[in-house]
Amino acid sequence: MSQNSPQNSRAQVRRGRQFSNTKKKGPFRRILKYGLILLGALFIFGAGLFTYYAASAPQITRSALTSDNSTKFYDTNGKVISRLGSQNRDYVKSKNIPRTLKRAVVSIEDRRFYKHHGVDPIRIMGAAVSNLTGSSLGLQGGSTLTQQLVKLSVFSTAASDRTLKRKAQEAWLAIKVENRYSKSQILEFYINKVYMGNGVYGMQTAAEFYYNKTLNHLTLPQFALLAGMPQSPTLYNPYKYPQYATKRRNEVLDAMVKNKAITEQQAQSAKNTSVKAHLSKTHAKARTSEKTSKYIDSYLKQSIEELEERGYKANSGLKVYTNLDMSAQKKLYNVSNNDPTIAYPNNRFQVGATIVNVNNGKVIAMQGSRKTKVAFGLNRAVQTGRSSGSTAKPIMDYGPAIQYLKYPTYQPVKDTPYVYPGTDKSVYDFDNKYPGTITMRKALVESRNIPAIRTLENVGVPKATSFLKNLGMTFSKPLEIQNGIGLYISSEQLAASYAAFSNGGTYYKPYLINKIVQNNGVTHTYKSKGRRAMSPATAFMITNMLKGVMNSSNGSGTAAKISGLYEAGKTGTTQYPDDYLNKVPAMSTMDSWFSGYTRNYSLAVWTGYDHQFKANSYVTSAQTTIAQQIYKNVMSYISQDKPNQDWVQPSDVVSTERGGQTEYYVAGYPGTVTDNSSNQTTSGYTTDSSSSSAVVTQPRGSESSSSAESSSESSASTPSEQKPSGDGGNNGSDDNSSSASSTDNGGNDNNNATDNGGNTTNGGNDNNGGTTDETQ
């Protein structure tokens, strides 16, 4: 047959097509081949890594699975002050756990619980997709109920521990638990272990706490609430956040419908029930029942919040070592509640106070209430919804004036009629008098408002705001000139800022926890890393003037004076708005403060009423000294065994005698600074040439040293604009109008200056990623 026959031609065509198809399919087959090889390699690598991590997994015992997982808190001497929930838990066996609760827990936490063997690949894939698409954060979302039990039993719940290694070990241990225990036992362990808020562990104990009933007497909506709480027991607290608790309960009900545990009609009926219905008004299973509980209530609550801020949960079996000085705490509690030498007007009169070690920032005691517990409400020691009054003057007016303008303590300041620029609002002093030109020392000692505002005007609000930022205070809106006589800060912030005056100018962020030991033995220690907030000269000169607040016959804080003790301090009161003055007795105030310090401790005290605009909720002139009396009684007690040392004059501070008074100025700045604040005529002042360290005369009309350096990070807002965060917002106040005014002179001040302050937060960020963490 010829080579060119039709048959040969067709064969060649077929071979050509086959060759062509082979060429076309080749690249795809190679990609598939290499892809399978890569997947195989990744599988082998993943299996090897899993095996490696699993080999180093901790042991898990029945004891660990059944333990209450409570967190223990210790004071500064290493003594246990609280075991959250440990002695209050009622363990319930599986046979006594209602079927409805089991179904609720499984439906919301792990729908495939009865189908997997500790690890659910389908759930993991779903979580992976969520993480890749950004709908979930970090390595989370794929844990089965068994894995959650393992995490609660042997691992930390800190966010920093959500690692691949930890997830691998968690999965391996979950598989081991599933091989050793039945599903019924695992569910029993979980229901008895989970943290349910308010120091309560286990759902049986929670039923008694929240409803004063045992589990077998609860209803469907109550089961649903309890089943949903472990995810975020603080947020889903029905007492404090009923709106979030309702949303979470309804999510559980919907999950039960989807899991065919209940019908749509049953779910709807349960949703129609208020989440606050039948909540118990008494709490037999509240936190610890120890004798110390009433003393440490405020401190413990703040410690728990700080623990959570550091990335931990209270249901982690932790050992938390705090800076609490139990002796100081008991004294502060007793003075605030039961001291017979202090004439408290009634049981509604409240106290918020904080004691800080001036040399390291450790909060050694805190009182957040009087005659009430703060476990379910406002911790007044850290609230920022009340104006600090004239306690703001050293940190916003005169401190910056020395720091930036080099004011001497004898700086002449004008106490003459003053109107806030751009307004018709006048500023008044407590006595409605205008003594004319006086020294800065006299203005601060007598707590006169007009010189303080004029001084702030010379410094400039941006500079003053920068000074405050160095003391750990940032604000949500720009501060204004009115804030020179009132800042919205807490007693904790105030005590920490005054501590910088005491120690020579270093700011330490206040903190309560110094060490956390996880149940696997990993330890993190914490300290506050001090930062320079002002010069030693500024700290010394402010302190020297603040001594006169307590020592001088004209001082506004003489009721706080402790005989023989080297100390300094400042009073502060806030007046009612102008349109409310006729509704309260003359000289009444809304708030009364005293903040004082020694070389060892700084103590800030706020007193007043939660609802200052309700009937009979004003602070009388006589009652403004209560804050001073609290300070005096507590500071004298905690100073008994401490060195009583005076402050040492820095080498760059020069002393001079002027008018029989020892005054001070910074070396190299011998003159006074011209006051160029608004509404006044600038004039020069003559020095006392007879002094041993005479200073030169400042010529009339010389240039002001005021600066207007900007700072975009500073701000403030009126209380009405504040958003409560936890318990530290403006809770409990009916109306804290921005027209509230700052007055001060031992309770006898009366001015009409507008305070326009706002919410504040401590600066600096804590880092708990290492074994030692420094609080900035």
Q: Determine whether 712 is an active site residue.
A: no
**At 59, which amino acid appears?**
Q
Q: Judge contact between 328 and 355, C-beta under 8 A.
A: yes
Residue 96 CA to residue 92 CA, distance in Å, equals 6
Do residues 75 and 81 lie in contact, with contact meaning Cβ atoms separated by under 8 Å?
yes
**Helices and strands per DSSP (H, E), number in the chain:** 20, 22
Q: Which one is catalytic: 109, 305, 306, 492?
A: 109
CA gap 121, 404 in Å, rounded: 64
Task: Please calculate the CA angle 236-241-242 and round it to the nearest 5 degrees.
Answer: 90
The contacts of residue 316 (CB under 8 Å, 6+ apart) are: 69, 71, 152, 156, 157, 158, 518, 519
**How far is Cα 332 from Cα 378, in angstroms, rounded to an integer?**
18
CA dihedral 453, 458, 460, 463 (to 10 degrees): -110
CA angle, corner 199, sides to 101 and 90, nearest 5?
50
| Tokens of residue 503, six digits | 């120690």
* CB atoms inside a 10 Å sphere around CB 660: 5
- In angstroms, rounded to a whole number, what is the distance separating the alpha carbons of residues 487 and 448? 16
Distance between CA atoms of 673 and 656, rounded to whole angstroms?
Answer: 17
Helix (H) or strand (E) holding 414: strand 412-415
- As a whole number of Å, the end-to-end CA separation of the chain is 97
Structure tokens given for 198: 């308010």
Write down the catalytic residue from 107, 390, 592, 595: 390
The neighbour count for residue 515, using CB atoms within 10 Å, is: 16
- Count of residues in the chain: 776
Residue 565: closest CA among 630, 506, 641: 641
Confirm if 705 and 351 have CB atoms less than 8 A apart.
no
359's tokens:
């040399």
CA dihedral over 14, 19, 24, 28, signed as positive or negative: positive
Q: What is the CA radius of gyration of the chain?
A: 33
Distance CA 729, CA 380 (A): 9
For 352, list phi and psi in degrees, rounded to 5: -135, 125
Phi first, then psi: give them for residue 259, nearest 5 degrees: -90, 5
CA distances (Å), origin 700, targets 46, 409, 703: 81, 20, 9
Q: Do residues 361 and 601 lie in contact, with contact meaning Cβ atoms separated by under 8 Å?
A: no
Residues 6 or more apart whose CB falls under 8 angstroms from that of 468 comprise 395, 396, 475, 479, 487, 497, 714
Structural element, H or E, at residue 85? none
CB 58 within 8 A of CB 174: no
CA distances from 473 to 128, 266, 301, 468 (A): 41, 51, 22, 6
User: What is the distance between the alpha carbons of residues 353 and 367, in angstroms, rounded to a whole number?
Assistant: 5
Torsion on CA atoms 555, 557, 558, 562, rounded to nearest 10: -130
Catalytic residue list contains 109: yes
Burial zone of 585 (CB within 10 Å; 0-12 exposed, 13-18 middle, 19+ buried): exposed
Residues tagged active-site? 109, 390
